[in-house]
């Protein structure tokens, strides 16, 4: 980079993706980039996911609003790169979560970095999700909060894939309601399926 040059987001993400294993655009950012956004952010905060706990280099984080998550949301049997692909307009670009994976990544952040109401509003737009991909991801999902949120909201919203999703993971959900005090002060109550 020469003096006075400005770093561009996408090439910079490409450099990071070569250095950080499993780096991809995930969660709410992935959903927005794939056309599922509820609110337009004044300044987008990139939701980056990876498979290793690393610090983003200052040359990137000082120029681009972002947050990085290395939380293992899915079991290892889920093949690497499952439900990840580059966007059609940038073939060979950085991997972006497909809508099914992005939805679960976003739900995992509810109460932490993601507002409940906005997450539910975005989920209302997911009637087109591919049931076979959604079920594979739900079966591999480690986080009970994410599973319960996905199952409860998909049923309440009448999403076409809701019943198949419940059948796929009902044995992991338990028989009692799930209550959790979230770091943002709200209480999340998820009824028994």
User: Domain-by-domain residue ranges, the chain?
Assistant: 9-190
Map residue 162 onto helix, strand or coil. helix
Q: Where are the beta strands (DSSP E) in 33-167?
A: 46-49, 66-69, 84-85, 96-97
Mean pLDDT, rounded, of the chain: 89
**pTM as predicted:** 0.90
Mean pLDDT of 13-37: 93
Tokens linked to 191: 């009824």
Residue at token pair 């009902």: 170
- What is the per-residue pLDDT for 17? 93
**Euclidean distance between CA atoms 151 and 8, whole angstroms:** 39
pLDDT band for 115, please (50, 70, 90 cuts).
confident
pLDDT higher than 80, residue 169: yes
pLDDT band for 191, please (50, 70, 90 cuts).
confident
**Euclidean distance between CA atoms 26 and 41, whole angstroms:** 16
- What is the per-residue pLDDT for 41? 63
pLDDT band for 42, please (50, 70, 90 cuts).
low
Q: Which of 135, 151, 125, 23 is nearest to 78 (CA)?
A: 135
């Amino acid at each position: 980079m020469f003096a006075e040059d400005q770093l561009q987001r996408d090439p910079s993400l490409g450099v990071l993706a070569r250095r950080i294993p499993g780096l991809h655009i995930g969660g709410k950012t992935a959903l927005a980039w794939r056309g599922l956004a509820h609110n337009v952010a004044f300044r987008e905060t990139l939701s980056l996911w990876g498979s290793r706990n690393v610090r983003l280099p200052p040359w990137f984080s000082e120029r681009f609003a972002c947050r990085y998550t290395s939380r293992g949301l899915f079991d290892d049997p889920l093949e690497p790169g499952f439900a990840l692909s580059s966007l059609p307009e940038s073939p060979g670009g950085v991997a972006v979560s497909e809508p099914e994976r992005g939805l679960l990544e976003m739900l995992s952040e509810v109460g932490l970095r993601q507002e409940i109401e906005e997450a539910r509003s975005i989920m209302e737009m997911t009637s087109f999700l591919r049931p076979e991909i959604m079920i594979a991801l739900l079966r591999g999902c480690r986080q009970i909060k994410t599973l319960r949120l996905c199952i409860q909201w998909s049923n309440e919203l009448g999403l076409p894939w809701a019943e198949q999703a419940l059948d796929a993971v009902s044995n992991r959900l338990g028989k009692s309601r799930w209550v959790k005090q979230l770091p943002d002060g709200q209480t999340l109550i998820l009824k028994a399926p």
